[in-house]
Chain A
Amino acid sequence: MLTIATGNKAVAAAAKAAEPGVIAAYPITPQTEIVEQIAEYINAGDLASQYILVESEHSAMAACIGASVGGVRTFTATSSHGLLYMHEMVHWAAGARLPIVMANVNRALGPGWNTWAEHTDAFSQRDTGWLQVFVSTVQEAYDATLMAFKIAEDERVLLPVMVNLDGFTLSHIMQSLETVEIGDFLPPYHLPHAIDTENPCVYGPMTGPNDHFRFRWDIERSMRDARGVIAEVEREFAERFGRSYAPTEDYRCDDADVIVIAMGTLGKEAEVAVDRLRDDGIRAGSMRLRWFRPFPDLDLAGREVVVIDRDYSFGFGGVIAGSVRAKTGIEPYSVIAGLGGQEVTYNDIAGFVRDRRPGEETWFGVNEDV
């Protein structure tokens, strides 16, 4: 069905289509619309999930863990401080190999209170063992959430997936949305290690160094296998529903001399900047990083690179700039921009490319004159 919706409503619609057995969530700006929309679905009888309105995000993830290992598909949504508050359980969910799907509406962290977009919340969960995808349109929020269930529940993966969308900029924008009849796209939930009282097992008891180490390697092995599973699922999604996705969305990159790397809505806005730069004879391209974990292979050989980080790792640098440098050996021009919802236009992005200084770092609007 073709309609118009916000990013939040698209996520809720995808969660509804996946028919989770249990949804546990706690409201937080700017994610709240997801929690409310799910409540509306359930109240109207359009969704038969057990809906646990928990008293905190820590409990939201704990409840998802209990439900997931109990044998049903689970979903939750959060943002910013909510994500940080559940951090302990975020690690637990991955370590317990539970295919939980969570939408995270990216928002800055306090102090002071700022409810606008920033990627620091998601990146603070970088090493938890979750797959993370960043979306840039309402449609992609829907599609990625649906695919997240299939990827997470694949027996070669069995890791949770976080779907990230920019707070307000995407969560509250209205764009067109085509919902689909998912048919058998999602197979029935099957967790090989679900609790079975006929075959009693102990989960997560005291574990010595050798076994612990092996379990951690198992996570990494699945994370590596996830690349192939993601590709398979995205291919199947394209065949069934006609919309194609890849680990990066490359725009006019083929003959580009300089490539802008960004994530989320800034990654989409960068395409407009590329068009403007091309009009001025600058051969620019845009590479929007969709998957953050597993981190995609980037083919940037022979190009100059401008990375826009809507995040910062204090005492180190932009997280994506650092990742690009580590993965490709290229010294990018690192632009820190958009923190706390800072307005960044396509003209600004075009300016980053024009004024690029490879190997240097700039905080847009803060120290560019220094």
Chain B
Amino acid sequence: MTNIVKRSVSILSAIPKEEYLLKCTSACAGCSSSLCLRYVLKAAGPDSVLVVPACCTSVLQGIYPGTAMNVPVYNIAFAAAAACASGMSDAFAKLGKKTNVIVYAGDGGTVDIGIQALSGAFERGTNFLYICYDNEAYGNTGMQRSGSTPLGARTTTTPGGKLTAKKDLDRIVEAHNPPYMATACSAYPLDLYKKVKKALSIPGPKFIHILAPCPPGWRYPSEKTVEMGKLAVKTGMWVLYEREFGKLAISGPSRAAMRRPAPLEEYIGGQGRFKNMSPEILDEMRHQVERSIRRLASEEAGAC
């Protein structure tokens, strides 16, 4: 235990001091996606370009001519991020530049309107990193349901709670056999930092799916943002893992959580979006978590 803590601290101190996301964003208080972006950019460094479709990150950069961004950011239409990055990546290849091309997209722009472009770019073997930060709804339009909204969650377009399960984006991406893909969570910045570093060291299409809790959307107090992310992982609602050339490796925090998940109610109970959820829905959600844990655990153990 002591050793693990020491190692973490030493790596944490290795995170660059340089800031590429400046302290003047127009993000909401307690925004976890901007927290993630800060670590993503620290891992990527200054020779990087962000391609951003319509999402909360379009807003949090600030209003022209001001900006909170200290790397080039190319803002593009909702459905077009992966394709735009595709062209940019090929332009840099043509020019002999090693610049990182990173898509930073929300869940709506990834699992819904952007999924065709995402699939195309991965099928073509585009050399880029696609990061989906997932707050499980259309955030910057005021929390409408997306394909990534979980079962039972209330949004402005599912006032009675969503009746269908969250789209399994990771298995869709996995079907493209990318050389590297991972999940991450805003509450585990070091894990995220390392995954971005590793992803950018591998040529070809890479994918990182970050769970990014959202105080106004999930209806919890701003100061609970880190706690909410930790609970997602500890309850097994969100599993942290990496997949290098198809091979699955569960990440440390989830390894412990999967052995003995915290009660789901600890995660659900703190969020207004799950208020008044029926016991049946809660049961179904519990089954989903169990199925997901079982599937990943048995795959890692080589049982499937």
Contacts and interface: CB of A to CB of B under 8 A. Distances in A.
Instruction: Indicate if A touches B (C-beta under 8 A).
Output: yes
Interface of A: 21-22, 24, 49-50, 52-56, 58-60, 62-72, 74, 88-89, 92, 195-197, 200-208, 211
Contacts of B89: 66, 70
**Max count, chain A CB within 10 A of own CB: residue among B79, B80, B85, B93:** B80
B74 A66 contact: yes
Contact of A196 (B72, B86, B87, B93): B72
Contacts of A49: 94
B249 interface: no
Given A59-B83, A195-B99, 19 more contacts: A21-B95, A22-B94, A24-B83, A50-B93, A52-B86, A52-B124, A55-B123, A58-B83, A62-B84, A67-B88, A69-B88, A70-B88, A89-B77, A92-B77, A197-B47, A201-B72, A205-B67, A205-B73, A206-B61
Contact of B72 (A24, A60, A200): A200
Contacts of B74: 66, 69, 195, 203-204
Interface stretch (B1-9, B113-121, B188-196, B270-278): B113-121
Interface of B: 46-49, 51, 58-59, 61-65, 67, 69-77, 79-80, 82-95, 99, 116-117, 119-120, 123-124
23 contacts: A21-B95, A50-B94, A52-B86, A55-B119, A56-B120, A58-B83, A58-B116, A59-B82, A62-B76, A62-B87, A65-B76, A65-B87, A66-B84, A66-B86, A66-B88, A67-B87, A68-B87, A69-B88, A72-B95, A197-B72, A202-B72, A205-B64, A211-B65
A323 to B, nearest CB: 29
Given A59-B117, A200-B72, A205 B91 contact: no
A62 to B, nearest CB: 4
**Max count, chain A CB within 10 A of own CB: residue among B83, B120, B124:** B83
A208 B84 CA distance: 24
A63 B86 CA distance: 6
Nearest to A49: B94
B98 to A, nearest CB: 10
Contacts of B76: 62, 65-66, 92, 204
Contact of B90 (A67, A196, A202): A67
B90 A52 contact: yes
State the majority secondary structure of interface residues on A: mixed
A66 B64 contact: no
Contacts of A54: 83, 86, 120, 124
A66 B69 contact: no
Nearest to B93: A50
B88 A195 contact: yes
B89 to A, nearest CB: 8
Given A56-B116, A66-B83, A208 B63 contact: yes
A90 B91 CA distance: 19
B88 to A, nearest CB: 4
Contacts of A67: 87-88, 90-91
B108 to A, nearest CB: 16
Contacts of A58: 79-80, 83, 116-117
Contacts of B82: 59
B127 to A, nearest CB: 11
B67 to A, nearest CB: 4
A19 to B, nearest CB: 10
